């Protein structure tokens, strides 16, 4: 009987040992699966596409615009002949500046920006869209965009007389005739468009003359656009793009989470040099961008440009398309790449 009890005790001990081992194994397996699950969740979380804020996207644009700014300090009573990095000549004569209707004297600061290529137009949100007489917008062929400001102690001054601007034609399109002056305007939705400035025959503003002039550095004659600018702010030497083909309105879809505030879509017409259209409306219900004026020529070969921000860099896609009537185009995340400002601007400018 004693031996039977001993064998029974041994069996119970073995059973208990097996049960403990199984429990430990179970706990270990559960812990292992939990770690895998957590890592899997983390990886899934990491796979969630980043979507920028409107502020982050706008900060990139501001950085791009600031990078183009050129400055100079001069005395208002003396004036300045300013030669830009691209050899544009801007002359502010003596005593040409006023504040509150009174002449300004002393040190003043010139802030000057010039844009000649679609890459910088896209990065700074300065497309070449001109406002037509009926209020619609259409593409412009640009001879250069210029932002001219003069300040004293941070206060913007005014012009008492128009100032000469001489622009080398080779920077954009040496064959473009009948160029006009357009003034830049930006609305509450951050849409930038250009308004035609009617010629003033008395002040001689709003007139563009094409002629030979000496390069300010080499002293060699070259073809230039010459005009008189009568205001501070954005000025564009342009003409409306003309195409006889039937027109359509295009629609573009983008990945979820992108909208008008945190990305932008532009259109570069192949062969049109320094010109850039913008799809300036976003339908929140249909989740589609559009150029809503119906001014895109059917059959046009062009490049669709998407841009946004990610991790402080530009995220963009450049897609060749041919316009057909009533078509919805798309941009996918697999078509996007990231890069610094110089890379983004360079890729877009190659379309010129």
**Model pLDDT for residues 159-170, shown as the tens digit of each residue:** 999 999 999 999
Rounded Cα distance between 41 and 146, Å, is 51
CA-to-CA distance for 196 and 346, rounded, in angstroms? Answer: 29
Q: What is the pLDDT of residue 10?
A: 54
Instruction: Return all residues near 332 (Cβ < 8 A) that are at least 6 apart.
Output: 255, 317
**Per residue, what are the HEC states of 26-79?**
HHHHHHHHHHHHHHHHHHHHHCCCCCCCHHHHHHHHHHHHHHCCEEEEEECCCC
Radius of gyration, CA atoms only, the chain: 31
- Report whether pLDDT(312) > 60: yes
Check pLDDT > 50 for residue 26.
Answer: no
Helix axes 54-67, 341-349, angle to 10 degrees: 70
CATH number of the domain at 54-240, please?
2.60.220
Structure confidence at residue 316 as a pLDDT band (50, 70, 90): very high
> How far apart, in Å, are the Cα atoms of 193 and each of 129, 189, 259, 294?
5, 12, 20, 16
Among candidate residues 282, 271, 265, 278, the one with its CA nearest the CA of residue 317: 265
Residues paired with 164 in a beta bridge: 228
Low-confidence winner among 7-11, 218-222, 277-281 (lowest mean pLDDT):
7-11
pLDDT per residue as tens digits for the range 66-91: 999 999 999 999 999 999 999 999 99
Q: Where in the chain is the domain with CATH 2.60.220?
A: 54-240
Q: What pLDDT, on the 0 to 100 scale, is given for residue 14?
A: 53
CA distances in angstroms from 171 to 71, 216, 257, 303, 315, listed in the order given: 21, 15, 38, 21, 28
Digit-coded pLDDT (tens) for 334-345: 999 999 999 999
Inform me whether the pLDDT recorded for 248 exceeds 80: yes
Quote the pLDDT of residue 217: 85
pLDDT of residue 31: 47
List the one residue out of 283, 279, 251, 311 whose CA is nearest residue 49. 311
pLDDT number for residue 105: 97
Domain with CATH 2.60.40 in the chain: 247-349
Residue 11 has pLDDT above 80, yes or no: no
Residue 135 phi, psi dihedral angles, 5° rounding = 95, -15
C-alpha 46/C-alpha 39 separation (Å) is 10
Dihedral through CA 223, CA 201, CA 234, CA 74, nearest 10?
Answer: 80
d(CA 104, CA 150): 11
Check: CB of residue 229 under 8 Å from CB of residue 271.
Answer: no
Q: What is the mean pLDDT of residues 226-230?
A: 97
247-349 is a CATH 2.60.40 domain: yes
Whole-prediction pTM value?
A: 0.85
């Amino acid at each position: 009987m004693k031996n039977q009890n001993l064998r029974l005790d041994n069996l119970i001990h073995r059973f208990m040992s097996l049960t403990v081992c199984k429990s430990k194994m179970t706990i270990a397996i559960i812990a292992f699966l939990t770690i895998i699950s957590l890592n899997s969740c983390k990886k899934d979380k990491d796979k969630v596409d980043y979507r920028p804020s409107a502020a982050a996207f706008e900060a990139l644009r501001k950085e791009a615009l600031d990078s183009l700014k050129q400055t100079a300090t001069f005395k208002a009573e003396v004036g300045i002949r300013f030669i830009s990095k691209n050899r544009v000549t801007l002359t502010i004569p003596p005593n040409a500046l006023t504040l509150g209707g009174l002449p300004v004297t002393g040190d003043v600061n010139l802030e000057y920006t010039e844009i000649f290529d679609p890459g910088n137009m896209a990065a700074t949100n300065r497309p070449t869209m001109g406002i037509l007489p009926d209020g619609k917008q259409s593409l412009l062929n640009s001879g250069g965009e210029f932002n001219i400001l003069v300040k004293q102690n941070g206060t913007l001054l005014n012009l008492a007389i128009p100032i000469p601007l001489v622009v080398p034609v080779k920077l954009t399109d040496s064959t473009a005739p009948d160029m006009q002056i357009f003034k830049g305007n930006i609305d509450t939705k951050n849409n930038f468009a250009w308004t035609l400035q009617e010629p003033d025959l008395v002040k001689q503003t709003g007139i563009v003359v094409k002629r030979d002039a000496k390069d300010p550095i080499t002293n060699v004659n070259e073809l230039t656009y010459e005009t008189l600018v009568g205001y501070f702010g954005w000025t564009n030497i342009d003409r409306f793009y003309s195409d006889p083909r039937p027109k359509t309105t295009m629609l573009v879809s983008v990945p979820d989470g992108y909208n008008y505030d945190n990305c932008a879509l532009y259109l570069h017409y192949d062969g049109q040099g320094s010109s850039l259209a913008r799809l300036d409306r976003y339908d929140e219900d249909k989740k589609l961008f559009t150029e809503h004026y119906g001014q895109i020529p059917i059959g046009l070969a062009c490049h669709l440009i998407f841009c946004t921000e990610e991790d402080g860099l530009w995220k963009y896609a450049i897609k060749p398309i041919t316009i057909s009537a009533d078509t919805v185009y798309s941009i996918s995340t697999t078509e996007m790449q990231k890069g610094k400002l110089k890379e983004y601007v360079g890729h877009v400018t190659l379309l010129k």
